[in-house]
Structure 1
């Protein structure tokens, strides 16, 4: 069958034909024509059907996760967490392969590099999330519920943040150098940062929520809010449960960490589609991996050094471009993979004789001591 001018995705499907196209036979009517034209158009420099395919995959994953795998809430053990993470990685690899096939090797490599960078830098995020759960006393039974609904916030907030970053880079190309300087500064700051359990009680967001909202002292099952009498007026009002507080704080933490990771991916590519999709697939995978990481967070104590090195190197890469030094995407991908793997393997080797200690236990211990 001859190719159709509607676009590479539809060219091999007999059902999709253009009215009046020189390479197609009889058209299928105005409705089909309009759909083809819409899907073949561009949004943020990328054909609409790429965005449509991405949305279909992500929605399918979320429905599969909550509607099938976790229809009945249960405590997720490390083995299940690793298996689910492997599944999400395979989906991301397949999506990257499709991008490679449709848009070429460079776009595919950029997707994989952005995906790996986001996964690397977001690992630190998992420690803070686990600390929040430990402090608020969120049992493992309900942690997946918070993480799942938190994904919806990630999808929305990352879209805003990445859209803003793309607009700034498009209008002011020099802002990439600010990104680079910020990444180098953050990386060196991480080198001298001692791992400590965050003090959630002194967290500004937690203090604001406690000051402005009615918060129950105990969980109410899987509910984020409940109706209870106001202690002063006696009227029935809405109270936040610790589950809702955890969700809000997890979303806030993700926004803060995105300030590091999003500029890092922009250093690899300014393609909005690749930056956004690689971010979302990475976050989906890491949320699945959370339960395995949280069960033995003490085993990854040297990982932060690897993350710091990655940040510094990505920042330096930006400043090398005006000097005529171009580091290709494949080299960036390999370097990131080697540095991350080295940090993980070295951490596991150095702590091989230590028992696994969950970060939730560390958080509870810190809360008791203070």
Structure 2
């Protein structure tokens, strides 16, 4: 697994993630359980996006100094930006499912913040493992690119047909499995994952929610990780763009939660993006679509879909 990033940049990235999570946890603990306002969500979203762009600037300087080439630095930083945007876009689908889970379990708004924080940590660990494994497989077996490409195209088609349809957790196999394994209380006990009823220790609904959020992210990672490998095979760029997108997921959730109805057609755009990226993968040995073109296509699709959504939003 070859990467263009120097060792010191890996260390900077790991240190940044640890510090960011620590600060987030400290702030979370000081604030306690509370409902996140739209203003707070906007501020945190801007902060995470700003930090991601700042890291990309550092990445650009690191690659330029390592290779001595401005052209290579431009190309690699553009790959990071494109990968980040794709992961951020596909995370919207995660958020809609998270909304469904929180609604189904009637999770109090004050508890949602902690659930998402735990889900983010789990997502970072699991995605790191999946990305490193995926990079190794691509390094060993080039034909897996075609498998990833076909999978993304099929996923995009499936997402298009499922868009706009009423979703339900009643037939969710993961939920059925959890209910068979764990006895669950009918009531929340603050932010606790376990409670005692009739002298017996049982799980609270909050533990079920955390487990489902974690499982959901793993499922969506199977879509999003192959998508970024269509942009770059460098494990550093794949990992960093993924992690930075995930770090801002909690703030993005509360931001979109307030405006979910205004982006009711966004899944159609995401479906088209997946088909485009899958096609790009399938054509990799015939014609390599430039990263700048990919970035432009993704931005255009998102812009059109969001404008289309806002113009046709219910009650507007």
Same structural fold, with TM-score higher than 0.5 when normalized by the shorter chain: yes
Q: Distance in 2 between matches of 1:194 and 1:143?
A: 25
Q: Tell me which residue corresponds to 1:23.
A: none
Q: Tell me which residue corresponds to 2:291.
A: 329
From 267, 280, 286, give the equivalent of 2:243: 280
Is 2:109 the counterpart of 1:140? yes
Shift of 1:191: 2.3
Shift of 1:156: 0.9
Shift of 1:241: 0.9
From 333, 346, 364, give the equivalent of 2:308: 346
Is 2:168 the counterpart of 1:199? yes
Shift of 1:48: 2.8
Q: Tell me which residue corresponds to 2:232.
A: 269
Q: Distance in 1 between matches of 2:119 and 2:163?
A: 28
Report matched runs for 1:31-110 at 5 Å.
46-68=5-27, 71-72=30-31, 73-103=33-63, 104-110=73-79
From 170, 183, 201, give the equivalent of 1:238: 201
Q: Distance in 2 between matches of 1:335 and 1:43?
A: 28
Query: Which is bigger in relative contact order (C-alpha 8 A, separation at least 6)?
Result: 2
From 191, 196, 221, give the equivalent of 1:258: 221
Q: Tell me which residue corresponds to 2:188.
A: 219
What count of residue pairs does the alignment treat as equivalent? 306
Contact 2:131 2:238 in 1 (8 A): yes
Shift of 1:139: 0.7
Contact 2:9 2:62 in 1 (8 A): no
Moved more, 101-110 or 244-253: 101-110
SS of structure 2 residue aligned to 1:96: helix
Q: Distance in 2 between matches of 1:54 and 1:295?
A: 32
Summarize deviations over 1:114-159 as a string: whole Å, max 9, x none. 1000111110110110110111111110000000011110011101
Q: Distance in 1 between matches of 2:78 and 2:103?
A: 38
SS of structure 2 residue aligned to 1:239: strand
Shift of 1:63: 2.0
Q: Distance in 2 between matches of 1:192 and 1:304?
A: 10
TM-score (norm 2): 0.91
RMSD over aligned Cα, in angstroms? 1.8
TM-score (norm 1): 0.79
Report matched runs for 1:180-199 at 5 Å.
180-199=149-168
Contact 2:2 2:234 in 1 (8 A): no
Summarize deviations over 1:255-298 as a string: whole Å, max 9, x none. 11111110000010011111011011112212211112112312
Q: Distance in 2 between matches of 1:333 and 1:70?
A: 38
SS of structure 1 residue aligned to 2:284: helix
Q: Distance in 1 between matches of 2:152 and 2:2?
A: 29
Contact 1:100 1:109 in 2 (8 A): no
Contact 1:206 1:249 in 2 (8 A): yes
Q: Distance in 1 between matches of 2:163 and 2:58?
A: 41
5+ residue gaps, structure 2, are 64-72
5+ residue gaps, structure 1, are 1-41, 230-235, 356-370
